[in-house]
Every structure is written in structure tokens, then in C-alpha cells.
Amino acid sequence: MSEKPATDRRTLLKLAGFGVGMAATPFAAAQESHGGHAMPAPAAASTAGAAPSPGYIFLNPDEAAFVEAFVDTLIPQDEFTPKGTDLGVAIFVDRQLYSGWGNGDRMYLQGPFQEGTPEQGYQLKFTPNQLVRIGIADVNDQVRAAHGGNTFDTLEEGDRITLVTALEQAKVELPSVPTRAFFNTLFQLVMDGFFADPIYGGNRGKASWKMIGYPGVGEMYADKIAEWRNRPYRVDEPLSIQDMM
């Protein structure tokens, strides 16, 4: 393992594609017991002695620490952008988990639940926020057992990269939720937060748009086709939804 392992940003972009996330309407967070893990309360009702992380409305402090470490493992500070937490990506993840989407508002969750193929999409009894919450608890339990009581967020950078890679490849078996579903859901949330319009909480300063040369959402480009044909279209400052209000 190198002294300064780092996520390859080109690999990150290849995996992510260039999707743009959309925020759903917030609903109250579900709090049930699933898979052996009690659903912890949101940050506002966090465990005694632990102050809630500023700005979080779904994640409790331990979960917020995990998500922040996960975000910064995928999006480290480099010559292209600041690290993911400085871009608001963890806040984006928190808001999505709190939303109607996070609560499975439009999902069929009555069962029967059977293991499906990748082409069949989401086949779990958990809402997305339950899947992420339980998965975080599962991962931290395994980290504590293997690393002398540490949690994911307290691991050295190289150990975090190794674990995230193992989760991506489903080489870690989580006891309560499918590893691949947990990783893919959290990974997609991070990517959505990185590339979404800043109005949804992530991509602060339009950093990812500037990095890939995306001009924003503000225009129709039909009148620029002749001038820019076969050349990258560049703007000094991408336009976000907020810029148009």
C-alpha cells in the first residue's frame, strides 16, 4: 500500500457518468427495526452525550461521520476540486435520505421479497434510507471487530480505500443487507450530489461542472451550433437554477 493512496478521479468519473440528481419532497424519517439493527433516531434526537452534526436532518452523528468519510474517500481534494464534504455532498446525501425518495414513498414495499436479477431493479423490503442506515451499522460493526474498536471514519485513508473497494466488489458480506445494493445506493447518492445542480445542496461553487466543462442549465444551445461545431463549448461561469431566479 502506498503512503498516500488516492482515489483515481478519472475512474470516479467513468463509474459515475454524468447524471444530475433531483431532490424529492422531504417526509419524516422511518424508524423501524430491521435485520437485527434498531433504526436510530435522526440527528435531532441523537444518542445522549453526542451532539448532532450541524446541518443534518436525517443522519445521526455516527452515520454522518461515516457518510463524510465515505464521501471524502470517493472525492478527495485534488487539483480539480475540493474534497466532497467541502462541496456539500454529505449534506446532499442527508437530504435525499430524509426525502420521500429516501422513505420509499413511491416504492412497492409489501412483498413477497425475492432475490432478483440486476435487470429487475430494486427488490428489497427496506426503504432506501433504511438500507443505508442498516448498511452503515453493519460496516461499522465489522470495522470495530477487525480494527480494534475503530469505526470506518477513524480508519487511515489507505484502509478506508481498501474497504470501499471491497464493498464495491462485494467482497465484504454484510449480515443485514445486500452489500452490492448498499454500496451502489450510497455511491449513486454521492455521485448525484457531486454532479447535481447546487440548489440541491451539493456541487458547491459548481465545482464538478467547471471540472468537466458543463455549461449549466440556463440556455438552449441551438444558436451556438454553427459557431461551436466540432469544438468543446466553454463558458466562464456555468449557470445553475439559482442563477436564473
Give per-residue pLDDT as tens, 172-212.
Answer: 999 999 999 999 999 999 999 999 999 999 999 999 999 99
Per-residue pLDDT, 35: 38
204 and 114, same domain (yes or no):
yes
The three three-digit cell numbers of residue 214, written as one number: 458543463
146 and 71, same domain (yes or no):
yes
In this prediction the pTM is 0.77
Provide the phi-psi class of 233: left if phi over 0, else alpha when psi is between -120 and 50, else beta.
beta
Provide the phi-psi class of 2: left if phi over 0, else alpha when psi is between -120 and 50, else beta.
beta
Please give the average per-residue pLDDT across 103-118, as a whole number.
Answer: 82
Domain assignment present for 3: no
125 and 158, same domain (yes or no):
yes
Domain assignment present for 2: no
State how many domains the chain has.
2
Domain assignment present for 81: yes
Decide if 136 contacts 63 (C-beta within 8 A).
Answer: yes
Rounded CA-CA distance 128/94 in Å is: 12
Domain assignment present for 4: no
Out of 7-11, 95-99, 161-165, pick the least confident: 7-11
64 and 130, same domain (yes or no):
yes
Rounded CA-CA distance 147/153 in Å is: 12
Q: Which residues form the domain of 142?
A: 9-213
Decide if 16 contacts 8 (C-beta within 8 A).
Answer: no
pLDDT tens figures, 21-63: 333 333 233 333 333 343 333 343 333 334 444 589 999 999 9
Please give the average per-residue pLDDT across 113-127, as a whole number.
Answer: 80
Domain assignment present for 152: yes
